[in-house]
Chains A and B, each alone.
Chain A
Amino acid sequence: MQKEELIQHLSVCVEKGKADRATPTPPEMKDKEGAKEITRKLLEMDTPPEEILNQGLIPGMKRIGDLYGQGKAFVPHLLLAARAMNEAITLLKPYFEAGTVERKGTFIIGTVQGDLHDIGKNLVKAIVEGSGWEVVDLGTDVNTEGFLKALEEHPNAAVGLSALITTTMVNMEEIVKKIKEKYPEKKVLIGGAPVTQDYCDKIGADFFSLYPQEAAEYLNSLI
């Protein structure tokens, strides 16, 4: 296969969640190469890692993210796509670290204090990462100090807060307040089942969406 064809194929592997040869799904790709093998092959062909990221991984994640936003793909599809993407990202990591490939920016994400749910957070993480950002995942039950500490380490990052329950969503207000006190220009994105645009406006956060792909698009618009 030619390089262009391979990159195209890589984007399909990401979209369909074909992580490696051993991944049993989708059935039509059974026993065939997955994101891992194809990325390795592309690197061996001296393909610029940037091309692999921008023309392979990002379009694949965007397609599945859009399908999710349209109600035509569901959580398992996104998670499988994320797994496939991560196989490729792992191989690209040395190039990120050496500075050969620039990512769009850094995004800090965590589920807020009192809340242990991480599925929604992980979906946003995957889509944003798959959109070309470096993601710093603080995990669940993260308090104000946790977010502020991460911001000290990554002063140029944008921040995302997640919550699944109405009783923990209220903790977002304090976290957003404290972040904005210290970094008035800092962009804060919020999301989760009980969150609404009204709530986002009220607590002074910058962005809310029901769909992870829109978070990635918002972040891209900041560049």
Chain B
Amino acid sequence: MRTIKEKLKKNEVLVSDGAWGTFIHQKGLGSDECPESWNLTHPDDIYDVALSYVKAGSDMILTNSFGASPFKLAPYGLSDKTYEINKAASGISRRAARNDVIVLGSVGPTGKLLMMGDVTEKELFDGFSEQIKGLTVGGCDAVLIETMSDMDEARIAIRAAKSVTQKEVMCTFTFTLTPAGEYRTMMGASPAESVQMLLEEGVDVLGANCGNGTAGMIEIVRQIREVNREIPVLVHANAGMPELKDGESVFPETPSEMSSQIRDLILAGANIVGGCCGTTPGHIASIVKVVKG
């Protein structure tokens, strides 16, 4: 069995993958289309994305299932295909990863707010369970619950994962810098509070993704490390903060600009580094060079 803990024993730092969404749009996904439906309708295009990160040198790649909870699939009339879409997502990444590269089953937030009564805890739990069942049967090695803001939703997703699989469970939150100069999720949780909860829930890896370039992530990792020094920390930073170029919002950091900050990120305490919005196989290849010399 491929486990991250085992891999981390052999290597001090592992490299994950980069953005998927923008990549799939480049392949022709319309802005009205459900990205995860492509696991069923355009598996070869999704395979290309996965393979490009394997070729860039990633030690682990994600799956095209970020928005494949029944709640996110519902507006497209696809919620009854949750299991199938997630199984396909995992299968595609598994095929690209072969035996050497770890596959992380991606699980994003539902966009539903528990506190407003949009959904019940049980509905959330059942929805996440269905999604994660599909992912694990499809062949992922671990589950990555990512881009979380709400501690309660994240907790339910973790418990759902643990109820359907023995595989490693990882969870990352998205923090942004508030006008008061503190890092917080949209729902108000600090890095320290999220770490405390994630440790209580017994995740295998925790960390942060999106919302920041590498510079912001360095500070977030420091805050995480003030709470706990042992647990593996994963960081998926954006390629800087978005800027407008020729009418489109772009993430400005080039592969070398991004990878030049990776050493500081590792020094701050990150064990697994990869990219989020705006990052490409080029960014990952550049990070691989820094990490593996």
Contact = CB atoms under 8 A, between A and B. Distances in A.
B180 A70 contact: yes
Contact of B248 (A69, A72, A83, A170): A170
In the complex, which range does the number of interface residues on chain B fall in?
A: 20 to 34
A119 B181 CA distance: 23
Interface residues of A, number: 34
Contact of A71 (B179, B244, B247): B179
Contact of A74 (B32, B75, B111, B187): B187
B242 A69 contact: no
A114 B25 CA distance: 13
B253 to A, nearest CB: 15
B75 A116 contact: yes
A75 B186 CA distance: 6
B87 interface: no
Contacts of B242: 166, 194, 196
A76 B115 contact: yes
Interface in A77-132: 77, 79-80, 83, 113-119
Interface string A188-202: 000000101011001
A79 B150 CA distance: 14
Contacts of A47: none
Interface of A: 69-77, 79-80, 83, 113-119, 141, 165-171, 173, 194, 196, 198-199, 202-203
Contact of A75 (B31, B187, B277): B187
Given A72-B180, A167-B31, A194-B242, A199 B115 contact: no
B115 A79 contact: yes
Nearest to A195: B249
A166 B249 contact: yes
